[in-house]
Structure 1
Amino acid sequence: MDVLIYDTTLRDGAQGEGLSFSLDDKLKIVEKLDYLGIAYIEGGWPGSNPKDLEFFNQVRNLDLKHARITAFGSTRKPGIGVKQDANLQALQQAGVATVTIFGKAWDFHVLRALETTLEENLNMIRESISYLKEQGMEVFFDAEHFFDGYKNNANYALQVLQAAQEVGAGYLVLCDTNGGTLSWEIEEIIKEVQKYSRVPLGIHAHNDSASAVGNSLIAVRQGCSQVQGTINGYGERCGNADLCSIIPNLELKMDKRVLPPGNLKRLAEVSHYISEIANMPHHNNQPFVGYGAFAHKGGIHVNALLKDSLTYEHIDPEEVGNHRRVLVSELSGLSNLLYKARELNIDINNYDHETRRVIKQIKEMESQGLQFEGADASLELFLRKAFGQYEDFFQLKNLKLIIEKNEDSPITAEAMVKLTIGEKTFHTAAEGDGPVNALDNSLRKAITEVYPEIGEMHLSDYKVRVLNGNEGTAARVRVLIESADQKSKWSTVGVSENIIEASWQAIVDSINYLLFKKQIT
């Protein structure tokens, strides 16, 4: 590999607010990172908690194809020997071939945080690396706060690197721990470091100045051959350098080989998978891997895309496992509708009256709050119905809801649905935790006999947005529902002054969409 990717999602990433990985989560993430082809995976700090100790016991049982597992820790503490240092003993007991230890490279930190002398800090670095090397381990040295240290006292920061270098550190990793160094500073400092270093250099950047990805790429240009970061940029404060941006930039823009051939197409899949495991929202506009990274809304943009995708895309989205999306909304022109129709294999006349009528209708509906850009399934059903290529699978005849509240009990809900499927009428009732749940249960109960496949789907997300809050409880609301089965997810939308009506619209679309997809596959 031209550049070694060192993933620290499970350690540095896990320090991000709201993140907590179980032992099972960590093992699943390791397998997914190995599937992507990451060179090094930092599993955690075995000296810090029992869960990380158990992780290193269990990760040995995984059949990894590409990745080497590393353990993380600090140099020995001031004033004690390496054999008495619990952290170094835990690293030794982790059973890994590679360890990464950090030491202070900023004299201010040595004096204020460690409360020791500058010379003792150098001894701590030398002795800790030497000890781990004697145990037969590959040792990487993270020079913590290196760039701040260099700017404050360049001579001492270089002495820290020299101390690690002279006892056999395999990599000297320059850390922008506070994330405040800008790209031109990174460039100039690494140029100077290169004059003194005989050991390969790495970069570990934090994102507090929104520069972590750029700083990492600049560092590679200046000769660093290891890049540390996290999937989706997870990490403390503002996060770490996002490997989901670094990896494709290195491979596609800088012609650096960092993953096994063909594996870059797995990037979006891995990014989304890990956000699910982390129970964190996946940012729609995240570069390269976000659901909206290649989404186009403006009519002028889409008109150009119809001619050549390079007009408004810097790469082919398929290269990173993503895909192009064209949004149809109140900002749409004819080009958006034509592109969407082509994508859905809907045969329409480009410029006839009916096509323009549909565009006008979409804009009117969106002006009332029915936002299609976040509900592709509802949009597809609407377009197919508008052009005579789809009919609903059932027709509602009657719907009743009973909401009951007793003094000493919570509100209960019961929904009664009467509908027809072909010539047959179904009349069912069902209870639920609330009116929307009761509606969903009653509708499913009514149509399961004819369409048992709806048992495969479930509601995975439900969002309500008030559109005109100044109207108080009479405000119009938009309901977005995300549904899923074992293979895919889809989103539907409903809008009304009545939250039950809006929810009904979205639920009906969700079920109809599943049945339609089953019908055509």
Structure 2
Amino acid sequence: MERVFIYDTTLRDGTQGEGISLSVEDKVKIAVRLDQLGVAYIEGGWPASNPKDMDFFLRAKEMKWQKAKISAFGSTCRPGTVASEDSNLQGLVQSGAPVATIFGKTWDYHVTAALRTTLEENLRIIYDSVHFLKEQGLEVVFDAEHFFDGYKANPNYAKEAVLKAEQAGADWIVLCDTNGGTLPQEILSITQEMGFILRAPLGIHAHNDSDLAVANSIISVLGGARQVQGTINGYGERSGNANLCSIIPNLQVKMNLECLPADNLKQLTESAHYVAEIANVSLRNDMPFVGHSAFAHKGGMHVSALLKDPSTYEHMQPEVIGNQRRVLVSELSGASNLIYKAKELGLDINKQNKETKEIIDSLKKLEHQGYQFEGAEASFELLLRRAFGEEKIPFVLDSIRLIIEKRSDGDFTSEAMIKVRVDDQVIHTAAEGNGPVNAVDNALRKALGSHYGFLQDCHLSDYKVRVLDEKDATAAKVRVLIETRDSQDAWSTVGVSTNIIEASWQALIDSFRYGLLKQEKAKEILKVAESREESSQKA
């Protein structure tokens, strides 16, 4: 299998995206994950531009990397200076990185308008900068900035600029669509022509301003490029960089080109979510390949076909990249959706079951009332189990009372008094909280803590309220979605009412009940594992 070298620039170009800022520790964590994933190059930053990036390289120099080469980024030396005396180039050498990536001007307009120098001087600084870095024993990647725009404006000069980098010993010539405005057919023809002219291997660095960065990267590979630069989840300035999470599976799964070690491809989805978590940016559910909804199916006809053969409505097996198939349940669902979900839960169900039609009718009524189960699968599982008589009721609410008080110091306080029944025991307790929902949550945990201690490890990680009937103003019906997490997992539940406290209570109760159900499942799995181990020891 022919190889395409993946060059990740999340830690440098990715951080230029609006709202993204990474600490040194964040960068180290992401770099380690990228190395485990198996990318060929990790660009750590620009060591001469800020102390934080230099700190990263000092950390990286002391670490052992499994697959990746660490690259330091910079520019050619300044016009009128000697390369060996340029502080920017010296920073690349001092970083300790084995690879130096420098960008240089290849668009004549940029040379005169932005760099404010002559075309001849620009050629000189390209040659001298690459030559100096090669003399220091570094692998050199030359990023030909604005190459495609430069080629279209003055092809002879653009060619001359990259030939200077090659003559100086550049190991890679990377053609950059810096403004992100080049079309795929232009990328293909220009990349192919440069392949005939240059002996050095080619790379592609695409930006997504025209929503074509992934397509341009792939077609550049068809044109002969063998290094692809991009970022995890497409992070980057303006509209972002080429998204490696889409490029890698397209190249490796569909074009049979090796980007990652074969066994590592299934880490892709987890890696995308890991980087999003570190960057504190919510990963879009509809992100191709790695998004939570990338392989989610809702239409009843689609799911019916999917049960016969997944390839009817999926372009690839989601497990290959570590994602999973999901079937959503809503008013658009048919019996096939319900059967699929029931099988996931180990429930015996078919289209002829009386309960199947009743559940579908019930779902349609509930969704008409405002419930939405595709974003609250824990509530849906409880609903299914209830319909088939498999729901265990771990506790029952006898009563709840809320007191909201505004004190003389101006603060609002909320107190919840709750009476619940666990088996034959009645528990009556109270708790304060930062608002009424938090007070109810605290009181319920306090009441159930002695019976279900593991609930103390669960916490609400998200709370959303959606007004369903805006015209009714403060009397409108609302939908509350709650996400709860423990140390291993997360689950979502839903409640609907014209009373926001009641809607919150419904979602909260489902959250606790599902957490207890998870605990029971875990115990059963452990019991089966212990039984198998005991049987194997006897054998």
TM category (shorter chain) comes to: over 0.9
1:435 paired with 2:436, answer yes
Note the alpha carbon deviations across 1:66-118, whole angstroms, 9 max, x for none. 11110000000111112332111111110111110000111111111111111
The residue number in structure 2 matching 1:382 is 383
Farther off after superposition, 129-138 or 80-89? 80-89
SS in 2 for 1:417: strand
Q: Is the 8 A contact 2:266 2:319 kept in 1?
A: yes
Name the CA distance, whole Å, in 1 between partners of 2:283 and 2:132.
42
The residue number in structure 2 matching 1:89 is 90
- Distance apart, 1:406 and its partner CA: 2.7
The residue number in structure 1 matching 2:204 is 203
- Distance apart, 1:168 and its partner CA: 0.4
Name the CA distance, whole Å, in 2 between partners of 1:371 and 1:380.
13
SS in 2 for 1:195: helix
Q: Is the 8 A contact 1:122 1:163 kept in 2?
A: yes
- Distance apart, 1:63 and its partner CA: 2.6
1:480 paired with 2:481, answer yes
1:336 paired with 2:337, answer yes
Name the CA distance, whole Å, in 2 between partners of 1:393 and 1:60.
54
Note the alpha carbon deviations across 1:199-227, whole angstroms, 9 max, x for none. 10000000000000000000111110000
The residue number in structure 1 matching 2:195 is 194
Q: Is the 8 A contact 1:37 1:263 kept in 2?
A: yes
SS in 2 for 1:399: strand
1:32 paired with 2:33, answer yes
Alignment-mate amino acid for residue 340 of structure 1: K
1:516 paired with 2:509, answer no
Alignment-mate amino acid for residue 485 of structure 1: D
Farther off after superposition, 271-280 or 451-460? 451-460
Q: Is the 8 A contact 1:348 1:387 kept in 2?
A: no
The residue number in structure 1 matching 2:418 is 417
Q: Is the 8 A contact 1:267 1:321 kept in 2?
A: yes
SS in 1 for 2:374: helix
Note the alpha carbon deviations across 1:149-202, whole angstroms, 9 max, x for none. 001111110011101000100000000000001101101111221221111000
State the identity as a percent.
Answer: 60
- Distance apart, 1:60 and its partner CA: 2.1
Alignment of 1:203-242 (within 5 A): 203-242=204-243
In angstroms, what is the RMSD of aligned CA positions? 0.9
Name the CA distance, whole Å, in 2 between partners of 1:211 and 1:428.
59
The residue number in structure 1 matching 2:168 is 167
Alignment of 1:231-270 (within 5 A): 231-270=232-271
SS in 1 for 2:441: helix
Q: Is the 8 A contact 1:175 1:205 kept in 2?
A: yes
TM-score (norm 1): 0.99
Farther off after superposition, 350-359 or 376-385? 350-359
Q: Is the 8 A contact 2:407 2:413 kept in 1?
A: no
Name the CA distance, whole Å, in 1 between partners of 2:349 and 2:392.
17
Name the CA distance, whole Å, in 2 between partners of 1:161 and 1:377.
57
The residue number in structure 2 matching 1:283 is 284
Alignment-mate amino acid for residue 492 of structure 2: S
Name the CA distance, whole Å, in 1 between partners of 2:322 and 2:183.
31
Name the CA distance, whole Å, in 2 between partners of 1:37 and 1:288.
18
Name the CA distance, whole Å, in 2 between partners of 1:472 and 1:254.
55
- Distance apart, 1:274 and its partner CA: 0.5
The residue number in structure 1 matching 2:532 is none
Name the CA distance, whole Å, in 2 between partners of 1:23 and 1:402.
47
- Distance apart, 1:409 and its partner CA: 2.2
Q: How many residues are treated as equivalent by the alignment?
A: 521
- Distance apart, 1:349 and its partner CA: 3.9
- Distance apart, 1:62 and its partner CA: 2.5
Name the CA distance, whole Å, in 2 between partners of 1:61 and 1:485.
35
Name the CA distance, whole Å, in 1 between partners of 2:229 and 2:3.
14
Name the CA distance, whole Å, in 2 between partners of 1:369 and 1:146.
53
The residue number in structure 2 matching 1:347 is 348
Name the CA distance, whole Å, in 1 between partners of 2:206 and 2:111.
20
The residue number in structure 1 matching 2:150 is 149
Alignment-mate amino acid for residue 270 of structure 1: S
Q: 1:159 to 1:360 in 2, by over 3 A?
A: same
The residue number in structure 2 matching 1:496 is 497
The residue number in structure 2 matching 1:4 is 5
- Distance apart, 1:489 and its partner CA: 1.0
The residue number in structure 1 matching 2:120 is 119
Name the CA distance, whole Å, in 2 between partners of 1:479 and 1:234.
31
The residue number in structure 2 matching 1:130 is 131
- Distance apart, 1:407 and its partner CA: 4.8
- Distance apart, 1:412 and its partner CA: 1.1
Farther off after superposition, 289-298 or 489-498? 489-498
Q: Is the 8 A contact 1:398 1:418 kept in 2?
A: yes
SS in 1 for 2:262: coil
Name the CA distance, whole Å, in 2 between partners of 1:471 and 1:106.
59
SS in 2 for 1:372: coil
Name the CA distance, whole Å, in 2 between partners of 1:354 and 1:391.
18
Q: Is the 8 A contact 2:105 2:145 kept in 1?
A: yes
Gaps spanning 5+ residues in structure 1: where? Answer: none
The residue number in structure 1 matching 2:534 is none
Q: Is the 8 A contact 1:271 1:289 kept in 2?
A: yes
Name the CA distance, whole Å, in 2 between partners of 1:98 and 1:313.
40
Q: 1:110 to 1:407 in 2, by over 3 A?
A: farther
Alignment-mate amino acid for residue 107 of structure 1: D
Alignment-mate amino acid for residue 300 of structure 2: G
1:444 paired with 2:436, answer no
Alignment-mate amino acid for residue 438 of structure 2: N
Q: Is the 8 A contact 2:287 2:294 kept in 1?
A: yes
Name the CA distance, whole Å, in 1 between partners of 2:31 and 2:316.
28
1:73 paired with 2:49, answer no
Note the alpha carbon deviations across 1:248-297, whole angstroms, 9 max, x for none. 00111000011112100000000000000000011101111000000000
SS in 1 for 2:397: strand
Name the CA distance, whole Å, in 1 between partners of 2:96 and 2:284.
36
SS in 2 for 1:318: helix
Q: Is the 8 A contact 1:10 1:42 kept in 2?
A: yes
Name the CA distance, whole Å, in 2 between partners of 1:4 and 1:349.
49
Note the alpha carbon deviations across 1:473-508, whole angstroms, 9 max, x for none. 111111111111111111111111111111111111
- Distance apart, 1:392 and its partner CA: 2.2
Name the CA distance, whole Å, in 2 between partners of 1:408 and 1:427.
30
SS in 1 for 2:10: coil
Alignment-mate amino acid for residue 292 of structure 2: Y
Name the CA distance, whole Å, in 1 between partners of 2:393 and 2:378.
13
